[in-house]
Amino acid sequence: MTTTIANPNQRFETSANRVVGAGIVLAICIFLLVFVVNTAMVQEMLGYTRQITARVPTFFIRMALLLTAVAAGLFMITGHSYYKRNKLAVTPWLFLAVGLAFFMVYVIVPIFQSISYSFTKWNGLYDINGVWTGKWVGLHNYRILLDDPNFWTSLKNNLIWLVLYMLAVPIGLFIALFLNQTVTGIRIYKSLFFFPFVISQVVVGLIFAWAYNPEFGLLSEVWGWFFCEMRENIVGNLTRVCSVDPPSILGDSKKATYGIIAAGLWPQIAYCMILYLTGLNNVSADQIEAGRLDGAKGWKLLWHVVLPQLKPATFIAIVVTVIGALRSFDMIATMTQGGPFGSTNVLAFYMYEQAVGEGVGRYGYGSAIATVLFLIMLVYISYFLWRMYQDEKEGN
């Protein structure tokens, strides 16, 4: 398909001035970037004192240089006869260059770096000469991992998350069906039901942590109506005395994870709901009518006629729910920090805690945990890509 559509008037000559000029600009920019511009230089130049205040200006100078370099590079390449002759083969790479470089540096390469860290014992420090202070330990970290009860707790919690988070899919479907009517104001209802998804997980976590609080949360208030009374204590202050203590959901290692998941389900259900609402819009009316004529009703109709048509929505709902479950971090960080005593840890949070939390600095061990999490995720990623590949094949 890469046939060049040649225009008879097109000339394939190199514009020498343009190539040489842009080349010089490019070389200068790269030279400045690599050898000259750094925080110390900018500090001196702008008269800053040492410390990080000069980082942002340094960054902007660098970015300006980089952009100039990219522009010059583009100019240089498009001026060359090679480009003019192979336009359709080269152009996509020009479009891709910046984005791909970015993505490689920040996403793809780090994956492999992390995996390589997982074979080391390292606290994240370089010595004064910039020499790495870690050492290679082979599979040692993984062996320790197998023997670490906290790791198994985290893994188990990840599984609980995966399983229970899936509830978001049917509940979301249920609410979508409930809302899939045309009465006045339904659009506002739909948006309000969707609302929790837009709120940051940190805020959701705070809201639920407060609701669960055994002293003055929503739950303990309700509890208080049944089991508690106010009494005066020894110094004459009113204090609450309960015949049965209110449940301390986040303080109890057996309940805390479920408490967090319940909080996490709230926005996730909203997400699944909106996916299904959109899916329901596209359900074919004819098929439903046909189903009805065949005598299908209620659950049967839902299961045999509607759900098959909602398959794309279900697929996406499951994918985002799985990813959401495995990424759970924000809620745990706001609600329990993995506590009590690590019982609500999941791999994502445990990794963070081991690697950088409170200066723990077990980079190698943390990377090993991250690698395990990555491998679990890879199963889903592969499945997703495989599905996409099937669609692409059909599409073309």
Partner 1 sequence: MSLRFTKLALGAAMAGLFSGSLLASDLVITFDDLNPDKKAAYEAAVEAFKAANPDINVVANNGDREAHKDTIRNALQNDAPDVITWYPGNRMGPFVDAGLFTDISDLWASDENLSSNFNAIKPTMTRDGKQWGVPYSYYQWGVYYRADIYEKLGLSEPKNWEELLGNCDALKGAGVTPFTIGTQYLWTAAGVFDYLNLRTNGYEVHNDLTAGKIKYTDDRIRATFAKWEEMLDRCSFVSTHATMDWQAAISPFAKGDAAMYVMGNFSVGQYKDAGLTDEQIDFFQFPEITAGVPRAEEAPADAFFIPANAKNVENAKKFLSFIATPQIQGDWNKAIGQLPPNAAAEINADDKFIVEGMATLSTAAGLAQFYDRDAPAAMAKAGMEGFQKFMLDPSALDEILEGLDKVQAEVY
Partner 2 sequence: MFPVPIEKNSAKAQIAYKLALPIALFFWLLPLLAIFMTSIRPVSDIATGNVFGIPSSFQLIQNYSEVFAKTEALQYLINTLLIALPTMVLSVGMACLTGYALAIYKFRWALPLFFLFVAGNFVPFQILMLPVVNISVKLEIMNTVPGLVMFHAAFQLGFCTLFMRNFMKALPFELIESARLEGVGEFQIFWHLVLPLVKPAIAALCVLIFTFIWNDFFWATVLIQEDSSLPITVGVRTLNGEFVQQWHLISAASLLAAMPPVIMFFIMQKHFIAGLTLGATKG
Task: Please state whether 338 falls in left (phi above 0), alpha (psi between -120 and 50) or beta.
Answer: left
Residue that is written with structure tokens 């099937």 in the block: 390
Structure tokens at 173: 């479907």
Q: H/E element holding 115?
A: helix 109-117
Return the number of the residue (101 or 241) whose C-beta is nearest partner 1.
241
> Which range of residues in 136-144, 148-156, 180-188, 250-258 is near partner 2 by CB under 8 A?
180-188
Residues that bind partner 1 (rule: CB under 8 A) add up to a total of 56
What's the closest the beta carbon of residue 214 comes to partner 2, in angstroms?
13
Chain residues 1-60 in contact with partner 2, contact rule CB under 8 A: 1-2, 5, 7, 9-10, 38-39, 52, 55-56, 58-60
Chain residues 345-364 in contact with partner 2, contact rule CB under 8 A: 347-348, 351-352, 355-356, 363
Strand-strand pairing, 120-121 and 228-232: unpaired
Q: Is residue 107 a contact point for partner 2 (CB under 8 A)? A: yes
Residues that bind partner 2 (rule: CB under 8 A) add up to a total of 124
> What DSSP assignment string belongs to 218-278?
HHHHHHHHHHEEEEE-TTS-EEEEESSPPP-GGGSTTTHHHHHHHHHHHHHHHHHHHHHHH
Q: 3, 17, 49, 281: which one contacts partner 1 (CB under 8 A)?
A: 49
| CA–CA gap between residue 211 and residue 194 (Å, rounded) | 21
Give me the amino acid identity at 136. W
| CA–CA gap between residue 396 and residue 391 (Å, rounded) | 9
What residue 159 binds from partner 1, partner 2, none (CB within 5 to 8 A, per partner kind)? none
Chain residues 320-349 in contact with partner 1, contact rule CB under 8 A: 336-337, 339-342
What's the closest the beta carbon of residue 220 comes to partner 2, in angstroms?
9
**Exposed (0-12), middle (13-18) or buried (19+): which is 385, by Cβ within 10 Å?**
exposed
Residue 231 pairs in a beta bridge with 239
Chain residues 150-169 in contact with partner 1, contact rule CB under 8 A: 150
What residue 341 binds from partner 2, partner 1, none (CB within 5 to 8 A, per partner kind)? partner 1
The SS3 assignment for 341 reads coil
**Per-residue contact flags (x/-) with partner 2 for residues 364 to 393, judged by CB under 8 A:** --xx-xxx-xx--x--xx--xx--xx-xx-
Residues 6+ apart with CB under 8 A from 298: none
| CA–CA gap between residue 251 and residue 340 (Å, rounded) | 6
What residue 137 binds from partner 1, partner 2, none (CB within 5 to 8 A, per partner kind)? none
Alpha-carbon distance values, 340 to 219, 249, 372 (Å): 19, 11, 23
Q: 358, 393, 394, 395: which one contacts partner 1 (CB under 8 A)?
A: 358
Chain residues 216-275 in contact with partner 1, contact rule CB under 8 A: 233-237, 239, 245, 248, 250-253
Chain residues 299-328 in contact with partner 2, contact rule CB under 8 A: 301-302, 306, 312-313, 316-317, 323, 326-327
Q: Which residues bind partner 1 (CB under 8 A)?
A: 35-36, 39-41, 44-47, 49-52, 123-128, 130, 133, 144, 147-150, 213-215, 233-237, 239, 245, 248, 250-253, 336-337, 339-342, 353-354, 356-362
